[in-house]
Structure 1
Amino acid sequence: MLDRLNQAMEHIEDRLDQSIDVAELAHIAVTSEYHLRRMFSALAGMPLSEYIRRRRLTVAGAEVLAGDRTLLEIAVRYGYGSGEAFARAFRTVHGVGPGEARRTGCALVSQPRLTFRLTVEGSSSMRYRVVDRPDFTVVGLKARVPLVHVGPNQAIIDFVRGIEPQSRELLEKLSDQEPHGIVAVCDDLDPSRAEGTELDYYQGVITSSAAPDGMSVLPVGAGTWAVFTTSGPAPQAIQELWRDVFTQWFPSNPYRSRPGPEILRTRLSPGGTEADAELWLPVEREQG
């Protein structure tokens, strides 16, 4: 998988001054467009679209400083419809406009080319299972929250803290399918997975019961799920599980992520310092 992903990165480099079709990148990587975006975001820590934009403006920055082309020629070459649009994008990445950069020769920001490598650390094995599930239903309380890549998500923290104890007790009683108990469910994420884009976040349960008044329902279609488990210090163990799934498990196994909700079941120790976690991700087998 990583070799094919690196071939897609090379394709980006060859077409920085042309249109880049994500569907074509997915074809080169021999995977789906959905999985390519998901995999890239997890490995690189930024959306694929943001990486392409930063690489274009890195190369464009070098041309601005070189002074061989006019600023408008550079803008058009790298896909901007006007000098103003190019200047705005340039300033967002480099902190200065292209005209000022050319006049002063100031230092610019560089987005390095990315190359992906699999690093094997230690000899521990990841605990997982793959299960086929018929369709099921999530019932619970829902909030629309922003996506946060690093650090706590205050919107989620405030939402969970605001749930009444009696609502949690009611949900616990409704749980009758695995993963059992109250779970965190993320759904309807923006394909770019860019910082600040919004998603539906549920505190809910998997149940065959009807939803009580005031609660939301999320129907989930039948499909295959990869289920990962971990135990350790909170929240590090959970954060490391997400990292290891995308940096180790997906590159080493014949599966790719598919559209669908992502489900996390967490049980904390009485002091809140240790966690047992179970992560459910929708997957499908890679073709070929």
Structure 2
Amino acid sequence: MTWSQRMNWAIEYIESNLDSDLTIEEIAKVACCSKYHFHRMFFATFKVTCTDKFGYKSPNAFTRAYRDIHGINPSNARIEGNSLSSYKRVCPPEDNKAGECMNYKIIKVPEFNLIGKSKNFEFKSLLKAYSTK
């Protein structure tokens, strides 16, 4: 298992659980490493700490972090023409461009129909999948 895979598991776990109280210990466990090594590798990969991406104790803390990353307040993010930053997924070492900033904009598009199929997953089966990778 590579560090790229571990970081991807951690990011997927964070994104899947943004509505709950996450801890570095939990995320490190998903990445199959200690809290200490996870923190070091996450920073080395993305040039931000893991807590810069989640875990804000107040709306003011979130607004400060958002402004540091994007250069604007969250309330201005939907104003047409404002640019935001994002990070690419972690790639295998031979094509590792993780941590490079990708600028993007929120734009208005005409209404359209979207067709899809939903599927429910149980959290326990996802956790088992993470631990066996």
Report TM bin, short chain.
Answer: 0.5 to 0.7
Aligned equivalent of 2:31, options 29, 32, 42: 29
CA positional deviation for 1:17: 3.4
Contact 1:87 1:98 in 2 (8 A): yes
Query: How many residues end up aligned between the 2 structures?
Result: 93
Aligned equivalent of 2:20, options 18, 27, 37: 18
Residue 113 to residue 17, structure 1, CA distance change in 2 (3 Å): farther
CA positional deviation for 1:113: 4.5
Q: Does 1:93 align with 2:93?
A: no
Question: What are the residue-to-residue correspondences of 1:99-110 with 2, within 5 Å?
Answer: 99-102=75-78, 104-110=79-85
What is the CA–CA distance in structure 2 between the aligned matches of 1:97 and 1:109, rounded to whole Å?
10
SS of 2:26's partner is: helix
**Any stretches of 5+ residues in structure 2 without a counterpart?**
96-133
RMSD of aligned residue pairs (Cα, Å)? 2.8
Larger helix proportion of the pair: 2
**Any stretches of 5+ residues in structure 1 without a counterpart?**
54-77, 121-288
Larger strand proportion of the pair: 1
Aligned equivalent of 1:117, options 88, 92, 111: 92
What is the CA–CA distance in structure 1 between the aligned matches of 2:93 and 2:67, rounded to whole Å?
34
Contact 1:5 1:116 in 2 (8 A): no
Opposite residue 16 of structure 1, the aligned amino acid is L
Contact 1:17 1:79 in 2 (8 A): no
What is the CA–CA distance in structure 2 between the aligned matches of 1:91 and 1:29, rounded to whole Å?
28
Question: Which structure would you say has the larger Rg?
Answer: 1
Question: What are the residue-to-residue correspondences of 1:237-252 with 2, within 5 Å?
Answer: none
Contact 1:90 1:97 in 2 (8 A): yes
String of CA shifts for 1:79-132, please: whole Å, max 9, x gaps: 4534x4443333222222233444x43423222243241229xxxxxxxxxxxx
Question: What are the residue-to-residue correspondences of 1:69-218 with 2, within 5 Å?
Answer: 79=56, 81-82=58-59, 84-102=60-78, 104-119=79-94
